[in-house]
Structure 1
Amino acid sequence: MRLVEIGRFGAPYALQGGLKFRGEPVVAHLERVYVEGHGWRAVEDLYQVAGEVVVHLAGVTTRELAEALVGLRVYAQVEDLPPLEEGQYYYFALMGLPVFVEGKQVGEVVDILDAGAQDVLVVRGVGERLRDRTERLIPLQAPYVRVEAEGIFVEPIPGLFD
C-alpha cells in the first residue's frame, strides 16, 4: 500500500463538521482518505461553496471535531486514484523527476505550485550549472516542457538559468 499526499484540510465550514479542502481535485472521486494522525475516514459528502471544496468525513459531525483536523495532511492510496487523460499528471508522480535543459540535467522537481492558469515546477539545481542548489520556477506549459518517463525536458527559456 502506497499513500500519496493529495492535500490538506483548511478551516471548518458551518456547524456539521465540514472542512474546506485544499489540494488535488481527485478527492471528489475517492470513497475514503487517510487523515494524518487519524487514520482512514470515509468521505460522506463533498460539494463546492464559493469555489472552495468542502468535505464531510465519517465521524466528524460537529465544528469542534472538524477544528481538530485543520491543517492536517490528507492522503490517498495510489490504487484508489482514477486514471488521468494523456497529458495530465498527478503532482506526486512528478516529484523527484530529473529536469533536463539541452540534454543536461539541471535539477529535480521538489515541489509544484498551483498558479491558477498553469502549474509551476519548483526545480532545485544539481550538478555544474546550479552548484548552489538554487531553486528555479518553471511553468509546466507545453510546448516548452515535455514530461517523459525518464524526466522532464525543458526548452531553454531566456534568463531562466542565467
Structure 2
Amino acid sequence: MTADLICVGTVGGAFGVRGEVRLKSFCARPEDIETYSPLLTQDGSQSYSVALIGSIQNGFTARLSGVSTKEQADALKGLRLYARRDQLPSLPDDEFYHTDLIGLIVLDPGGTELGRVRSVQNHGAGDLLEIHGPDLKDTVLLPFTLENVPTVDLTAGRIVVDPPEGAL
C-alpha cells in the first residue's frame, strides 16, 4: 500500500492545549495539504481529516480529527502524514515526487552504475539526491538540477547523472 502513498506532511507536536498541532507541509503549495484530507499514516491504519487554522513559521496550526487534547497532539509528534497518489495532481514530465526517485539506479553518461538514490533532501536551496554505492567512498549529495541529472527514467528505474568534475 505504501507505494500508492505520498508523504505530504509531518506533525511537529502540540500547539496550545485544545489538541491543535503544528503541521509542516511538503506540498509545492503548502496550503494544499488540507485539500488532500483525509491523510493517512504510513501503514494506512489511521486517517485524519485536516483543517488548517493558522500559519506559523515553517508551517501551520491545524486540527486533526480525533485529536482533542494537548496530550493526544503531543503523542503525534513526528507522525508523517500521507495522501493517496490518486488524490494528488499529475506532474509535468520534468517534475517528480521524491518517493519515486528513491531507490533508482544511478548511472554515469557512459552507462556505468554508480549506486542508488538513498533519499531526496531539501534544506532550502533546492533538492539534493543522496547517492550511495559500493564504489563511492562516501555518500554523495548531488544537486537535482537538469545540468547534473539530465535523464530520469522512472519506467526503467534509473537516472543518468553528469556531475561536475570531482563530485563523485
TM-score normalized by the length of structure 1:
0.82
1:100 aligned residue: 107
Number of residue pairs matched by the alignment: 157
Cα deviation, residue 23, structure 1: 4.8
1:118 aligned residue: 126
* Offset from partner CA, 1:98-157 (integer Å, 9 cap, x none): 11112211011111111212011111114xx33x6x421111012221323332211132
The answer to whether structure 1 residue 29 and structure 2 residue 53 are counterparts is: no
Cα deviation, residue 74, structure 1: 1.9
Mapped partners of 1:87, 1:29: distance in 2: 24
Taking the TM superposition and a 5 Å limit, the aligned residue runs for 1:45-64 are 45=52, 47-64=54-71
Could you say what secondary structure the match of 1:67 adopts? Answer: helix
2:11 aligned residue: 9
Mapped partners of 2:114, 2:60: distance in 1: 36
Mapped partners of 2:25, 2:132: distance in 1: 22
- Is the Cα–Cα contact under 8 Å of residues 11 and 23 in structure 2 kept in the other structure? yes
Cα deviation, residue 75, structure 1: 2.1
Q: Which runs of 5+ in 2 are unaligned?
A: none
* Offset from partner CA, 1:39-74 (integer Å, 9 cap, x none): 011113364212323332112123222111111222
- Is the Cα–Cα contact under 8 Å of residues 144 and 155 in structure 1 kept in the other structure? yes
TM-score normalized by the length of structure 2:
0.79
Structure 1 vs Structure 2 CA RMSD: 2.3
Which residue identity lines up with residue 115 of structure 1 in the other structure? H
Task: Select the structure that is richer in strand.
Answer: 1
Q: Which runs of 5+ in 1 are unaligned?
A: none
Closer, same or farther: CA 152–46 of 1 in aligned 2, 3 Å: farther
